[in-house]
Amino acid sequence: PAQGTDDEIRSRIVDDLTRARRRTALLTEAVDDDDLIRQHSTLMSPLVWDLAHIGNQEELWLLRDVGGRDPLLPETVDQLYDAFQHPRADRPSLPLLDPAQSRTYVADVRSKVIDLLDRTPLRGRRLTEDGFVFGMIAQHEQQHAETMLATHQLRQGEPVLSAPPPPAAPGDRLPAQTLVPAGPFTMGTSAHPWALDNERPAHPVHVDAFWLDTVPVSNADYQDFIADGGYATRRWWDPAGWAHVQRVGLAAPLFWRREGPEWVRRRFGRTEPVPPDEPVLHVCWYEADAYARWAGRRLPTEAEWEKAARYDPVSDTTRQYPWGEDDPTAERANLGQDHLGPAPVGAYPAGASPLGIQQLIGDVWEWTSSDFTGYPGFAAWPYREYSEVFFGPEYKVLRGGSFAADRVACRGTFRNWDYPIRRQIFAGFRCARDAAPGEG
């Protein structure tokens, strides 16, 4: 978290903003201008929209709100980049800034933000307390970087991205499931200075004893479900999920294709055999829910997931991350697009929770059974459109972050959400089941 002296917070902010911008640059410079303005899927914005939207949010929150400055561009530009005024499918036909104008704009905003940061007190006003709104903007840019990476995955054509492969798993034999004992823990946070509104406030939650998969569900596991006729067996599916499967003809995760007896998948322009030991990726909530029912289990609730990720039964305390309070590192978690996919299951023993549950942070977002709602005492802040307008039964919560989530926007309390039919996000899952009486 951004704690420490004001100088330490300022240097953390510069670091987080700079890392976000390096990634935005990478994702928007890897393709030509045609590819930047093209819509690669109606689910996604053109990359050039994300780019200028990143700059526009940074200008609105930092330069105009905190800095009190006048707009850098004609005020009609703001509405083009307001996500609520134009659905993604309509964005290509808007009179958007072109790629060169967008790059100039975001660079201009950023250089003024760096000046502003030095002149902004980090005490005494809630928006800037501990650098909150600067941290919010770094998180916002990284969330869009993850979205832009999903656009890259949907893009047809030659590969343009590369990264070293993720680490192998050491091959330790892990128990398939781990018992999480009954009792209360602290869900959410009131202490993390950069936590977003939906993570607040901290509140006690009692969780009954349950078993949670020690690692995420793998491709090999998921292929067993497919081979057993999982997609053709109504009883495994939520009724709305079954209707969806029939309507769109789902038969395997997104980007998978059958080649003779083998499953192959396309990832960032490369087609390769589906690796059996990687967490399954690009499944929707309905697929995760159906798999769990087929396996005789269920998805964890959001509270169960968070308790497994944060609770230490030995000290009876709730941590920020499974491994403790320290920031994520390359040894602990697969984050930040360091690799272009999840690592094999079991590859991050250094990131294990106190109970030994692995890969809760990084690799794949994990679907939970929970609808996205506000915690008791929730207050929208600093804007209703971040979370509150999405509360309700139509969105399911995902936890833990993917290989494409940056560490600034990933922690034990961080909440993501999407529609239960969405598969282009970097989502997988793990399963849970109730403990038997006397087990915990």
Minimum gap (Å) between residue 173 Cβ and ligand AVJ: 36
The DSSP letter of residue 350 is G
Nearer to ligand AVJ, 91 or 297 (CB): 91
Does 416 help bind ligand AVJ (rule: CB under 6 A)? yes
Nearer to ligand AVJ, 194 or 294 (CB): 194
Does 178 help bind ligand AVJ (rule: CB under 6 A)? no
Distances in Å between the alpha carbon of 122 and those of 68, 195, 254, 283, 297? 16, 16, 45, 42, 48
Q: How many residues bind ligand AVJ (CB under 6 A)?
A: 7
Q: Are 106 and 18 in contact (CB under 8 A)?
A: no
Kindly give the interhelix angle for 132-154 and 47-58, rounded to the nearest 10 degrees. 180
Joined together, the tokens standing for residue 93 give: 């036909």
Q: Which amino acid is at 331?
A: E
d(CA 386, CA 307) in angstroms, rounded, equals: 24
Minimum gap (Å) between residue 72 Cβ and ligand AVJ: 20
Report phi then psi at 326, rounded to 5. Answer: -70, 155
Site string for ligand AVJ, 374-413 (x = CB under 6 A): ------------x---------------------------
Does 424 help bind ligand AVJ (rule: CB under 6 A)? no
Q: Which of 167, 143, 210 is CA-nearest to residue 363? A: 167
Q: Are 107 and 51 in contact (CB under 8 A)?
A: no
- Residue 180's contacts (CB-CB under 8 Å, 6 or more residues apart) are 207, 209, 210, 211, 212, 304, 307, 308, 311, 355, 357, 440
Nearer to ligand AVJ, 105 or 263 (CB): 105
Minimum gap (Å) between residue 203 Cβ and ligand AVJ: 21
Minimum gap (Å) between residue 235 Cβ and ligand AVJ: 31
Site string for ligand AVJ, 330-369 (x = CB under 6 A): ----------------------------------------
Nearer to ligand AVJ, 195 or 212 (CB): 195
Site string for ligand AVJ, 129-158 (x = CB under 6 A): -----------x--xx--x-----------
Nearer to ligand AVJ, 128 or 147 (CB): 147
Residues at the site binding ligand AVJ, with contacts judged by CB under 6 A: 140, 143-144, 147, 386, 416-417
